[in-house]
Amino acid sequence: MNSSLLLKIILLSLAACSLIMFIVWAWATRIKNAGVVDIFWSFNFPVIGLIVFSFGDGFSLRREILLTMIVLWGMRLGIYLLIRVGSHLKEEEGRYKQLRLEWAPNANAKFFGFFQMQAFSNVFLAIPFFLISVNPKPELSLLEYLGAGLWAISLLGEASADAQLKRFKKLPSSKGKVCDQGLWKYSRHPNYFFEWMIWVSYFLFACSSPWGWISIVCPLTILFLILKVTGIPMTEEQSIRSRGDLYREYQRTTSAFVPWFKKA
């Protein structure tokens, strides 16, 4: 493994993501909507993908597959969030409104740190991408094929969950109600579940690269964030604030995370 090249790729990625998040923070401060951070957190990964593809010296086919996986996933998620957040730019999402209240009167300064932490998280979570990009092995392994297959299934699952929720919200009869259709009938957060599985697939893909096993920290970190920090806890707090007993009943009858497992 070329350690100096690896460090160069990591630093380039960090600089790019930090600059992007600085610009996004300045825009978010002007429009008073910190929710735009989610859009560019997603778009930062294709930026990293282009960096690892361009500067990595590993097997070219492997880098091409990796770039395809990163760009398709990151752009799909980013565009979905762009449409969702862009539809109410003048109205900040409830979870960010709550942070703004909790961080007053220094909300803008604290959001700056928050946005930069998102840039750091982009780079930290890209550990498997960095390791894969410098893997010189001239053939793909079974684990890489399995990782790519799991990635495809997970991307389809996440896109389906997002599409089902979008269709539900468009119905006039759905106003004030809880989406319990399709995948949402079996899990309160199927989008989060498949998002996590995508990170598991990146880990599997990285396992054949030197030191690839250390990228297990990425799906574990995502799982922790989803279950304990910014994912399910914040989303469900906002859902209870907006839907009350309807959402509490939905909590009682569905899995929190893993579809078809009520005790999840």
One domain, residues 151 and 99: no
One domain, residues 164 and 68: no
One domain, residues 15 and 102: yes
* CA atoms in the 13 A half-sphere facing the CB of 155: 18
How far apart, in whole angstroms, are the C-alpha atoms of residue 118 and residue 111?
Answer: 10
Strand partners, 220: none
One domain, residues 5 and 134: yes
Chain CA centroid to CA 92, Å:
19
What are the structure tokens assigned to 56, written together? Answer: 């990595």
The parent domain of residue 131 ranges over 1-139
One domain, residues 153 and 254: yes
Residue 56 gets which letter from DSSP? -
pTM of the model: 0.89
Domain end residue (candidates: 78, 108, 139): 139
The whole-number pLDDT of residue 175 equals: 83
Do 47 and 19 form a contact (C-beta atoms < 8 A)?
Answer: no
One domain, residues 34 and 79: yes
Do 256 and 189 form a contact (C-beta atoms < 8 A)?
Answer: yes
The whole-number pLDDT of residue 260 equals: 63
One domain, residues 216 and 240: yes
Burial tier of 102 (Cβ tally within 10 Å: 0-12, 13-18, 19+): exposed
Q: Is the pLDDT of residue 15 over 90?
A: yes
One domain, residues 177 and 155: yes
One domain, residues 85 and 175: no
Number of domains in the chain: 2
Domain end residue (candidates: 113, 139, 165): 139
Residue with tokens 């565009």: 79
How far apart, in whole angstroms, are the C-alpha atoms of residue 148 and residue 195?
Answer: 14
What are the structure tokens assigned to 157, written together? Answer: 């699952």
Domain end residue (candidates: 139, 171, 202): 139
| Cα dihedral 238, 239, 243, 245 in deg (nearest 10) | -110
pLDDT in tens, 42-93: 999 999 999 999 999 999 999 999 999 999 999 999 999 999 898 888 888 8
Q: How many residues does the chain have?
A: 264
One domain, residues 81 and 148: no
One domain, residues 175 and 247: yes
pLDDT band at 174 (very low <50, low <70, confident <90, very high): confident
One domain, residues 146 and 159: yes
pLDDT band at 134 (very low <50, low <70, confident <90, very high): very high
Among 129-138, 172-181, 195-204, 216-225, name the one with the lowest average pLDDT: 172-181
Q: Calculate what percentage of the chain has a pLDDT beyond 90.
A: 66
